[in-house]
Amino acid sequence: MQDSEFVKALKDMKLKYPEGEVTNYFPDKGYGFITNDKGEKIFFFLPEVDTMGCRTDDIRKGIRVGYDVSLTAKGRRISRMKILR
């Protein structure tokens, strides 16, 4: 898998996103939750998430991800997600 230009630029700038683990994921429904290091669960709806060059098939329960959060009318949601390797 090759990184997109956006992801390469992020790596070059050494930006650090909060990290967490995918603790619940329902691929048939396209949503799940990431639990951060403070124990907070944050919802994601995969069709709305910028996966930052990762294949959506690689997202599964138990993987570590870096993420970005947006505030929506329904609360906090993951807006970007990058699988950490």
pLDDT reading at 15 higher than 70: no
Rg over alpha carbons for the chain, rounded to the nearest Å, is 12
Report how far residue 21's alpha carbon sits from residue 6's, in angstroms, rounded to the nearest whole number: 22
Q: Which residues pair with 17 in a beta bridge?
A: none
Domain ranges of the chain: 5-83
Q: How do residues 36-77 score in pLDDT, each as one tens digit?
A: 989 999 999 998 898 887 888 889 999 999 999 998 898 899
Q: How do residues 31-46 score in pLDDT, each as one tens digit?
A: 999 999 899 999 999 9
The dotted CATH code for 5-83 is 2.40.50.140
- What do you get for the CA distance between the two ends of the chain, in Å? 12
Report how far residue 61's alpha carbon sits from residue 13's, in angstroms, rounded to the nearest whole number: 29
pLDDT reading at 1 higher than 50: no
